Amino acid sequence: MTATFAAPDANATPIRLVPAADFESWLARQDDPVRDWVTANQFTGKAGQILRMPAPDMSIARVLFGWGTPDDHRRNRFLLARAAAGLGPGTYALDGDLSDDAQEEAALAWLLAGYRFTRYAGSGADAPRLRVPRGVDAARLEAIAAGEALTRDLINTPAADMGPDELEAATRALASRHGADINVNTGDALLDGNFPMIHAVGRAATRAPRLIDMTWGNSGPTLTLVGKGVCFDTGGLNLKPGASMGLMKKDMGGAATVLGLASMIMALDLPLRLRVLIPAVENAVAGNAFRPGDILTARNGLTVEINNTDAEGRLVLADALALADETPADLTVCMATLTGAARVAVGPDLAPFYTDDDALALALSQAGKRVRDPLWRMPLHRPYETMIEPGIADLDNAPGGGFAGSVTAALFLDRFVTKSRFVHFDIYGWNPTAQPARPKGGVGMGARAILDALPGILPS
């Protein structure tokens, strides 16, 4: 479920944004009843404080919201989301002096705070609505929020209801909504289509592996999005311990994120040609599961020694990236919940990314700051390439030693993209504790930054 704005002319209760630094001067300008009410309720403009101001008939005349300090906004994205979460049903309007960027962030915060995952319990019908702030592109923000809601819904859905077939169905529904074309190779047809590593990883599951290929747009620059769609990861024969398996429904977070981004792009009718590739599998245990010590041959002919079946994401992505490289795009973006090393390095709030293209990295980083979708560039450190070269095969899917696990995974994927600009995101895809506009659970990372950067990183 995603929230939408109220109409610009809707009757609305004003929300007065009161910065902590201006609180005393603001309070001095109020009449005695207001000062008394504010003082009695200990409202001081502290970040996130909410105070309802009564009218003579005891209805709510307006709402005061603590806007805090500049440091509060540096430490907390989407502060206004606390108002959306703390107020009851109704229609509200912003009342405060905000820059255009701050007003857009506040409006998006409200929409993102309206997200509810209600497939199994609860309802989001009573979410408060915000009157469209002046100068805000409501349609753009609603498309962004809807794309983010799609990502969250896909990740939050348990693997029993979000396997490869359901992920395909979700992609088909998105394609149908926007007039995109879709082609899917499933099961043993993957071998006929030369996707041997996708087949090897997914063949032990009861639900068949597949490669989902969606295309949209007839003109403009080309953008290919590749998303890891491991719908559940047991670790394969290198079985994960139970504690590590608990969140593995989110191992298709890369696929969910590229579908959310694709939804934004198509809803906004951006002038480009889009391709989305999703290798969708379950990494399961059965008699025909691939094994440690096996050597697989990828679509592009590179051989891969399997030293850990729990490093399967890079295998399925390799075939998809090799396919993408056969029709080079102006930009190829890979999204994957790939390594625990990335999470350990930067935590759950930053989206680490890898590219050799300095201009691309700078544009993405700047966009992330603009739209409060934080990214962090990581090094494609070429001297580490020897760590992924086992000698018995061209590549090692899980080099030993425990060093630089996210870097070596990125270097592995980089071997499969040789003809286009390339950036790889090693995301977490999960918010472990509730934050403003980001409830606990599945979350998109990097999509809004990429969307914002596209005009500058794709040729005109």
Tell me, what's the pLDDT at 123?
77
Q: Kindly state whether residues 103 and 168 are assigned to the same domain.
A: no
Q: Kindly state whether residues 272 and 375 are assigned to the same domain.
A: yes
Contact between residue 355 and residue 265 where contact means Cβ atoms under 8 Å apart? no
User: Residue 363 has which token pair?
Assistant: 């544009």
Q: Kindly state whether residues 81 and 56 are assigned to the same domain.
A: yes
DSSP assigned state of 239: P
Instruction: Write out residues in the chain with pLDDT < 50, as ranges.
Output: none
151 within some domain: yes
Give counts: helices (H), strands (E), the chain: 16, 19
138 within some domain: no
5 within some domain: no
Catalytic residue at 314? yes
Q: Kindly state whether residues 173 and 98 are assigned to the same domain.
A: no
Query: Dihedrals φ, ψ of 60, to 5°?
Result: -85, 115
Residue where one domain finishes, among candidates 126, 151, 173? 126
pTM higher than the cut 0.95: yes
Tell me, what's the pLDDT at 145?
97
CATH code, domain carrying 315: 3.40.630.10
pLDDT tens, residue by residue, 121-136: 987 667 789 998 888 9
pLDDT tens, residue by residue, 11-50: 999 999 999 999 999 999 999 999 999 999 999 999 999 9
Residue 228 domain boundaries: 143-457
Residue where one domain finishes, among candidates 126, 161, 186? 126
294 within some domain: yes
Task: Provide the number of structural domains found in the chain.
Answer: 2
Q: Give the residue among 420, 111, 102 at the shortest CA–CA distance from 264.
A: 111
Q: Kindly state whether residues 209 and 83 are assigned to the same domain.
A: no
Q: Kindly state whether residues 158 and 226 are assigned to the same domain.
A: yes
233 within some domain: yes
Contact between residue 325 and residue 416 where contact means Cβ atoms under 8 Å apart? yes
Tell me, what's the pLDDT at 125?
65
CATH code, domain carrying 32: 3.40.220.10
Tell me, what's the pLDDT at 2?
66
Q: From the candidates 77, 314, 343, 372, which is the catalytic residue? A: 314
Whether the CA torsion 335, 337, 343, 345 is positive or negative: it is negative
Q: Kindly state whether residues 200 and 52 are assigned to the same domain.
A: no
7 within some domain: no
Q: Write the CB contacts of 389 (distance below 8 Å, at least 6 apart in sequence).
A: 395, 396
Q: From the candidates 52, 240, 273, 377, which is the catalytic residue? A: 240
Tell me, what's the pLDDT at 9?
80
Tell me, what's the pLDDT at 1?
56
137 within some domain: no
- Distance, in Å, from the CA atom of 131 to the CA atom of 137, rounded to the nearest integer, reads 12
Q: Kindly state whether residues 60 and 114 are assigned to the same domain.
A: yes
Tell me, what's the pLDDT at 10?
82
Q: Kindly state whether residues 201 and 249 are assigned to the same domain.
A: yes
Q: Kindly state whether residues 400 and 435 are assigned to the same domain.
A: yes
Q: Kindly state whether residues 273 and 154 are assigned to the same domain.
A: yes
Q: Kindly state whether residues 423 and 312 are assigned to the same domain.
A: yes
303 within some domain: yes
